[in-house]
Amino acid sequence: MSLAGRDLITMSDLSTDEIGSLMETAGHMAEAIGFDSPAAGQTFAPLDRILATCFFEPSTRTRLSFESAMLRLGGSVVGFADPKASSASKGETVADTARMVSGYADIMVIRHPSAGAARVAAHAASIPVINGGDGPHAHPTQTLTDLFCIQRKHGRLDGLTVGLYGDLKYGRTVHSLGTTMARLGSRCVCIAPEQLAMPDRYLDEMEEISGERPAQVNTLDEVLGELDVLYCTRVQAERFPSEEEYQKVAGVFVTDASVMERAPESMIVLHPLPRVDEVHPEIDEDPRACYFEQAGGGVPVRMALMSHLLGLEAPRSSFAGFGGKHETRSEPGRARPQAESETLPASAIGECTNDKCITRQERFLEGEWYKLPGDPPRYVCAFCEEALDG
């Protein structure tokens, strides 16, 4: 099963074998570009492939790392960085934009404020589509980048304890990392203020995958000693009902020198960046502070992903890097169970009620539901993946 010609919209589009294959290729790409030792970089050859970067909202980091990755592969880039410069301002649908771009490029990455927009683009486009972040829904290349850094630092992705820290309610990054680490055989602990706790649906999913429900605590010190990875995210003032309630937790969810003093020697600190105040610059020189190396790893990871989707490199047939514990369980069923499910049109069940869903924003886009097994069966929107309201 090759990745050539496929899309990447959520991490569940990938089997654990495919994740492993991407990590292995990313390692080769890192060597090729001299990621650790610039002098060791390999010969560069022009490649006649064009990436289209379709950014309906700004994101410098994601856009530049994709562009850099395509250029490092020898290819080139077209695109837009701003919705005002796109045809969307003239009322064009996401589907039409994706069809148009299919004529101008060989692969596209889309970023959009609405959940499910990347899936809409993937349905319409005739070229591979990568989700570069669709509102609150998913941002799978961030997760692949996180995995690559963890793999490099700990030499494996199973048997680790990952502390998800900060805003676990709204952060798509931690939702995706948590469920993926569960698939790969690691456990997560959730450290968050009550108001920003990990939603039950993700706790349920992690429990279903690994048989163990992640622990939930309110303070870092309860679990600091057992962490292999501390994954920090920002606690934003606008998530709280009042400035007063925000201030109660704002000063607490900060990773600084005093935290690092109490942390294990082998615990790495990650952050999806940009940070504001939640990781203090005073720890930047600590060898355990890996967030800039993590960000840089986004280039070989995206090189690997694009080379696979473009069919430039055959995925390795065997990958032995992960522990075997969950392989059987999660293979191949965990790769998009939805995609193998029965689908029903919105006309049969009703419209998606998620305000952020792309089906609520666009004309000419009929909703669809995946019917998931169970008694009674569950229905999730085929675009934003939110469950059907009772």
Q: Which stretch binds a copy of itself (CB under 8 A): 98-106, 262-270, 331-339, 375-383?
A: 98-106
356 is catalytic: no
- Which residue in 49, 63, 72, 111 is the catalytic one? 111
Secondary structure of the chain in HEC code, one letter for each residue? CCCCCCCECCHHHCCHHHHHHHHHHHHHHHHHCCCCCHHHCCCCCCCCCEEEEEECCCCHHHHHHHHHHHHHCCCEEEEECCHHHCHHHHCCCHHHHHHHHHCCCCEEEEEECCECHHHHHHHHCCCCEEEEEECCCCCHHHHHHHHHHHHHHHCCCCCCEEEEECCCCCCHHHHHHHHHHHHCCCEEEEECCHHHCCCHHHHHHHHHHHCCCCEEECCHHHCHHHCCEEEECCCCHHHCCCHHHHHHHHCCCCECHHHHHHCCCCCEEECCCCCCCCECHHHCCCCCECHHHHHHCHHHHHHHHHHHHCCCCCCCCCCCCCCCCCHHHHCCCCCCHHHHCEEEEHHHHCCCCCCCEHHHCCCCCCCEEEEECCCCCEEEECCCCCECCC
- Which residue in 43, 90, 328, 363 is the catalytic one? 90
- The CB-of-116 to a copy of itself minimum distance in angstroms stands at 17
139 is catalytic: yes
52 near a copy of itself, judged by CB under 8 A: yes
25 is catalytic: no
Q: How many residues bind a copy of itself (CB under 8 A)?
A: 60
308 is catalytic: no
92 near a copy of itself, judged by CB under 8 A: yes
- The CB-of-31 to a copy of itself minimum distance in angstroms stands at 14
- The CB-of-237 to a copy of itself minimum distance in angstroms stands at 11
Position among 12, 21, 25, 102 found at the interface with a copy of itself (CB under 8 A): 102
Q: Scanning residues 260 to 289, which ones bind a copy of itself (CB under 8 A)?
A: 273-277, 280-281
Q: Which stretch binds a copy of itself (CB under 8 A): 59-67, 157-165, 186-194, 210-218?
A: 59-67
Position among 11, 19, 22, 101 found at the interface with a copy of itself (CB under 8 A): 101
Position among 84, 265, 320, 375 found at the interface with a copy of itself (CB under 8 A): 84
Of 50 and 335, which has the nearer Cβ to a copy of itself? Answer: 50
Residues known to be catalytic: 61-62, 90, 111, 139
The site for a copy of itself (CB under 8 A) is made up of 41, 44-48, 50, 52, 58-61, 64-65, 67-68, 71-72, 74, 76-82, 84-87, 89-92, 95-97, 99-105, 273-277, 280-281, 292-293, 295-299, 363-364
